[in-house]
Amino acid sequence: MSNESLANLLREERRFAPPADLAAAANVTAEAYEQAKADRLGFWAEQARRLTWAAEPTETLDWSNPPFAKWFADGKLNVAYNCVDRHVENGLGDRVAIHFEGEPGDSRSLTYADLQREVAKAANALTELGVQAGDRVAIYLPMIPEAVVAMLACARIGAPHSVVFGGFSADALATRIQDADARVVITSDGGYRRGKPSALKPAVDEALTRPGTENVRSVLVVRRTGQETAWHEGRDVWWHELVDRQSEQHTPEAFGAEHPLFILYTSGTTGKPKGILHTTGGYLTQVAYTHHAVFDLKPESDVYWCTADVGWVTGHSYIVYGPLANGATEVLYEGTPDTPHQGRWWEIVQKYGVTIFYTAPTAIRACMKWGDDIPAKFDLSSLRVLGSVGEPINPEAWVWYRRNIGADRTPVVDTWWQTETGGIMISPLPGVTETKPGSAQVPLPGIAATVVDDEAREVPDGAGGYLVLTEPWPSMLRTIWGDDQRYLDTYWARFGPGQSATGVAWRYFAGDGAKKDDDGDIWLLGRVDDVMLVSGHNISTTEVESALVSHPKVAEAAVVGATDPQTTQAICAFVILRGSASESEGLVEELRAHVAKALGPIAKPKRILPVAELPKTRSGKIMRRLLRDVAENRALGDVTTLTDSSVMELIQSKLPTASED
């Protein structure tokens, strides 16, 4: 079966019309697309009215100095006031903002009134530590309510935060502290992970011995695990000692809409991490709108849960800022999906009656691997919308998710966006879009995206190329912290500025390969650096992976192109087999034939290596660079951002038994 007929099969046999009840009551209707198309800026100006402004903006977009955008520039607002205080003022103080579930099973719920008190106290504490508007604060915490409180407290006093994922090493933390020149670090003694306390504070202590971190005056430490913690007198201060004694009153100051809200580092495949800068008014407008539209949020009745970590942009936009700006009730979970058992997530869904669930394809595939009987043990009937983010979701995992978690009833929204875009850009809308497994489908109202070829020409339906965003959007990154040139070079130089019908057009290059199907729907094909060149054909690693996992014996697959004297690159696949499947004699041959049948002989992997685990970053992205090192028999590159560095030793130990033809 060719590529195209695979896509056709998915289109014809697996299209899902939105459930009638959802369609009837959806937050957004199909007209929104038309309205936004007719007046894009008017549309965003209207969405900005979801926020409470201290000074209403009179100007929507200033694009006079592209690619440096200003949105709602003369507006003034306080982000924390919008996420917390205004809900209390509107009589919603008793509504639960956060149901916290710790990994060991401890739980606590914070209402909006509680959150207001906590954020006010933390803001007062930061002020007492000398933090002023504009100062950067690094946050290195587990998934506990204090992480959310700390971010909101920074936002409240106009101090941009830089959240560093709690799983990162002292090195990674030090680089980020240096680059942002942070003045304060907020951390904890540790957090619970996989059934035991795991220390965080030692990494901060180590990072602060590095040159370039001298400007950190204070380290504010939350007590979470109670473990033994080294103390640096005069610098370290316990959260419960400093924050708890502060006043619960704090008057929020209004900042300009372009005041920096946060810096978040994206690892990038090479070079030093990029500090992506987001600002306030446009960012909050888009994350609030998209959270309302894409998840069809009904704040008075929904219980929303996003399983991401606050260390990633998903946590910033869809745990902290979007949901709280909308007055949502949400779950915050500290641990891993399989601690203490593989049904932990579903147990939490059942406990809180979660209605909207947002997770990543890698997690969905892990649950698939653990077996259908696990979610079947829990009552998941409260769920009404399921979301996916982080990488292309293979149609099999999409269908499994809808069927086994969503009881074949809920829409699945496949949301494409990036740290740089700040908010969701391409996604179906529940109740509006007929969904297709594996496709993010359509740009949201107010968003302009398309697929272009090497010469920046828009490709016709049915063809592939590069994903570009053709108009600025409110939550776009404003620059790379301290490096305007790199911002220009990385995102805007590849396809612009070029002439278009309306003058000079700037196109944002997302770095992702994409294609448009015959209906004009967009399918994401992964990072362009993940496209292989085999005997003159461009083959996407994602498509081969998707074909492999459509085989009943394969749970997960990672594909790389290894340099090959005959074919430029040869396809090399690493597969994790399903629980019951074993590495039998003919299996590799069977899988190769399966891919050839699904995608054509050109896509048949030259090598297939069954492995126990795949190397992943802590955000769940497969580190293909390391697999390429293995496939090309090279020494391994940097493994410091891996979740578990022993995985690579395991994979390499398998090499001699690799099947090859």
Binding mask 40-69 for ligand WT7 (x = CB under 6 A): ------------------------------
545 belongs to the binding site for ligand WT7 (CB under 6 A):
no
* Binds ligand WT7 by CB under 6 A, chosen from 192, 417, 487, 491: 417
What does the DSSP assignment read for 291-319? HHHHTT--TTT-EEEE---TTSHHHIIII
The answer on whether 2 is annotated among ligand-binding residues is no
Distances (CA, A) of 487 to 161, 395, 479, 509: 20, 34, 5, 11
**Which range touches ligand WT7 (CB under 6 A), out of 75-83, 499-507, 520-528, 601-609?**
520-528
The answer on whether 415 is annotated among ligand-binding residues is yes
* Binds ligand WT7 by CB under 6 A, chosen from 313, 447, 539, 548: 313
Please give the size of the binding site for ligand WT7, defined by CB under 6 A: 22
Q: How far apart are CA 73 and CA 83, in angstroms?
A: 20
Q: How far apart are CA 179 and CA 136, in angstroms?
A: 10
Give 55's strand partners. 76
Number of Cβ within a 10 Å radius of residue 405: 22
Least distance (Å) between residue 513 CB and ligand WT7: 9
Q: 303-306 and 329-333: which strand pairing? A: parallel
Binding mask 606-625 for ligand WT7 (x = CB under 6 A): -------------x------
* Closer Cβ to ligand WT7, 81 or 523, answer by number: 523
Binding mask 568-607 for ligand WT7 (x = CB under 6 A): ----------------------------------------
Q: How far apart are CA 269 and CA 647, in angstroms?
A: 19
* Closer Cβ to ligand WT7, 117 or 436, answer by number: 436
**Which range touches ligand WT7 (CB under 6 A), out of 66-74, 336-344, 387-395, 562-570?**
387-395
- Can you tell me whether residue 118 is helix, strand or coil? helix
Give CA angle at 511 (507, 513), nearest 5°. 100
Least distance (Å) between residue 148 CB and ligand WT7: 18
Which amino acid, residue 560? V
The answer on whether 416 is annotated among ligand-binding residues is yes
The answer on whether 193 is annotated among ligand-binding residues is yes
Q: How far apart are CA 493 and CA 67, in angstroms?
A: 10
DSSP label of 529: G
* Binds ligand WT7 by CB under 6 A, chosen from 213, 229, 415, 546: 415
391 belongs to the binding site for ligand WT7 (CB under 6 A):
yes
* Binds ligand WT7 by CB under 6 A, chosen from 179, 512, 521, 543: 512
Residue 519, class by beta-carbon neighbours within 10 Å (0-12 exposed, 13-18 middle, 19+ buried)? middle
Per CB under 6 A, contacts with ligand WT7 among 176-205 are none
309 belongs to the binding site for ligand WT7 (CB under 6 A):
no
Q: Is the dihedral of CA 237, 240, 246, 248 positive or negative?
A: positive
Per CB under 6 A, contacts with ligand WT7 among 222-261 are none
* Binds ligand WT7 by CB under 6 A, chosen from 83, 148, 180, 510: 510
451 belongs to the binding site for ligand WT7 (CB under 6 A):
no
What does the DSSP assignment read for 588-627? HHHHHHHHHHHH-GGG--SEEEE-S---BBTTS-B-HHHH
Edge-to-edge strands, sheet with 96-101: 107-111, 96-101, 329-333, 303-306, 356-359, 385-388, 412-414
Residue 350, class by beta-carbon neighbours within 10 Å (0-12 exposed, 13-18 middle, 19+ buried)? middle
* Binds ligand WT7 by CB under 6 A, chosen from 75, 275, 392, 605: 392
Give CA angle at 114 (108, 118), nearest 5°. 100
* Closer Cβ to ligand WT7, 201 or 527, answer by number: 527
656 — phi, psi (to 5°)? -60, -25
* Binds ligand WT7 by CB under 6 A, chosen from 390, 406, 411, 561: 390
* Binds ligand WT7 by CB under 6 A, chosen from 414, 521, 545, 629: 414
Give CA angle at 617 (613, 621), nearest 5°. 80
Place of tokens 């100051």: 253
* Closer Cβ to ligand WT7, 78 or 314, answer by number: 314
Q: How far apart are CA 444 and CA 32, in angstroms?
A: 9
Distances (CA, A) of 114 to 111, 126, 158, 213, 353: 5, 18, 21, 34, 22
Region for 234 from its dihedrals, namely left if φ exceeds 0, alpha if ψ lies in -120 to 50, beta otherwise: left
Least distance (Å) between residue 512 CB and ligand WT7: 5
Q: 531-534 and 537-540: which strand pairing? A: antiparallel
The answer on whether 439 is annotated among ligand-binding residues is no
115 belongs to the binding site for ligand WT7 (CB under 6 A):
no
Q: How far apart are CA 402 and CA 400, in angstroms?
A: 6
DSSP label of 655: G
* Binds ligand WT7 by CB under 6 A, chosen from 265, 357, 416, 574: 416
Give 238's strand partners. 221
The answer on whether 418 is annotated among ligand-binding residues is yes
Least distance (Å) between residue 426 CB and ligand WT7: 7
* Closer Cβ to ligand WT7, 129 or 510, answer by number: 510
* Closer Cβ to ligand WT7, 527 or 604, answer by number: 527
Least distance (Å) between residue 583 CB and ligand WT7: 30
The answer on whether 178 is annotated among ligand-binding residues is no
Least distance (Å) between residue 59 CB and ligand WT7: 29
Least distance (Å) between residue 503 CB and ligand WT7: 28
Per CB under 6 A, contacts with ligand WT7 among 257-296 are 266
**Which range touches ligand WT7 (CB under 6 A), out of 16-24, 95-103, 411-419, 501-509?**
411-419
419 belongs to the binding site for ligand WT7 (CB under 6 A):
yes
Task: Supply 377's token pair.
Answer: 């043990």
* Closer Cβ to ligand WT7, 296 or 391, answer by number: 391
The answer on whether 535 is annotated among ligand-binding residues is yes
Q: How far apart are CA 79 and CA 228, in angstroms?
A: 36
* Binds ligand WT7 by CB under 6 A, chosen from 389, 469, 532, 573: 389
Place of tokens 């917390």: 84
Binding mask 431-450 for ligand WT7 (x = CB under 6 A): ---------x----------
543 belongs to the binding site for ligand WT7 (CB under 6 A):
no
The answer on whether 296 is annotated among ligand-binding residues is no
Q: Which residues are annotated as a binding site?
A: 193-196, 314, 390-392, 414-419, 512, 527, 535, 549, 551, 554
Q: Which residues are annotated as a binding site for Mg(2+)?
A: 549, 551, 554
The binding site for CoA consists of 193-196, 314, 535
Q: Which residues bind ligand WT7 (CB under 6 A)?
A: 266, 312-314, 389-392, 414-419, 440, 510-512, 524, 526-527, 619
